[in-house]
Amino acid sequence: MRRVLLVFVIVLTCGAAIHLSVAALAIQEENDATIWNRKGEESSKSAKYEDAIAAFKQAVKLRPEYFDAQMNLGTAYQHSGRIDEAIESYKAASKLRPESEFPHWFLGNAYANSGRYKEAIDDFLRVTQIKPEWAEAHYLLGCNYILAGQNKKAIEALKRVTELRSDWTEAYIKLSVAYDRMGQQEESLDAIKRAAQLNPVNPEYQYLLGCAYSKAGHHKASIEPLKRAIELKPAYALAHFHLGLAYHTLGDKDGALEQHRILTTLDAELAKKLYDNITSARLTDR
């Protein structure tokens, strides 16, 4: 009887030892995965992306459910130009944490960088569903809608950006582009006006405002912002060109020719284009 009990105790002891060793192994693998992930992060900081990839892959191999390592692997792939592999890593991360917006954010950027705008839209749309108040996600969604030719949806996304962040000038610029492509010139003009009000010393915004006035048929109103763009950036050839066109449209021959004269020292091609516009109109008038 004592021998039976002894064997039973030995078996129990062995079973407990096996259980403890499996648990210990799991803990050790988790610790090792963390170490490999840290090594990868250090390599990434030094822009040694191939070393980082190897380290992150080892971390994921040891611990397949390691979300941070999977995301880090994706960014290392992306920095090294291996976009398709980055996408696969981000997809794997999104399966590990379906409720997280971050894999979809990085997926959207990876798709956009590779010109796959419709796929980028799907992921940025998912980000806005998970985190509706994230203005940057709505902004990139709107930008990708424009790139995909879906300007009506771009307007909706970018208007949401301006609701969340009314001081974001670039959102108004992109909104103006979307309106312009829809043929809504007055709405496009209003969006540019807002950007120029927020940053009145940006010559690009003043130039775009002048162009928007002209496109909407307000040629006289286009003069001041175009002149302001030139004040801020005297060698702004495109601003001189459009100012010359505005003067010509308004019948100010001397003003148009003065802009042509200036353009001959800045951009010979634009100078010729402006002169051709002026002279072809004269011939038509005859």
Of 7-16, 53-62, 128-137, 195-204, which gets the smallest average pLDDT? 7-16
Residue 18 lies in a domain: no
Last residue of a domain, one of 149, 173, 199: 199
- Whether the per-residue pLDDT at 18 is higher than 60: the answer is no
In 64-198, where does DSSP find H-type helix?
A: 67-79, 83-96, 102-113, 117-130, 135-147, 151-164, 169-181, 185-198
CB atoms within 10 A of CB 65: 12
Same domain, 194 and 206: no
Count structural domains, the chain. Answer: 3
60 lies in which domain range? 35-100
Q: Which residue has the higher pLDDT, 131 or 13?
A: 131
Give the N- to C-terminal CA distance of the chain in Å, as an integer.
126
Residue 261 lies in a domain: yes
Name 255's Cβ contacts closer than 8 Å, sequence gap at least 6: 243, 244, 247, 248
Helices (H) and strands (E) in the chain, counts: 15, 0
Share of the chain above pLDDT 70, in %: 87
**pLDDT tens digits along 220-253:** 999 999 999 999 999 999 999 999 999 999 999 9
**pLDDT tens digits along 62-76:** 999 999 999 999 999
Q: What is the mean pLDDT of the chain?
A: 91
Residue 283 lies in a domain: yes
Dihedral pair phi/psi, residue 63, rounded to 5° = -140, 85
- What radius of gyration, in Å, describes the C-alpha atoms of the chain? 30
> Left, alpha or beta for 35 (phi > 0: left; psi -120 to 50: alpha)?
alpha
Q: What is the pLDDT of residue 285?
A: 41
Same domain, 71 and 83: yes
pTM: 0.83
Q: What is the pLDDT of residue 2?
A: 54
Once rounded to an integer, what is the mean pLDDT over residues 137-145? 98
Last residue of a domain, one of 199, 217, 245: 199
- Whether the per-residue pLDDT at 120 is higher than 50: the answer is yes
Residue 222 lies in a domain: yes
173 vs 199: CA distance, rounded Å = 12
Token pair, residue 207, equals 């130039």
Residue 265 lies in a domain: yes
Name 127's Cβ contacts closer than 8 Å, sequence gap at least 6: 101, 104, 105, 108, 134, 137, 141
Q: Residue 65 is part of a domain; what is its CATH number?
A: 1.25.40.10
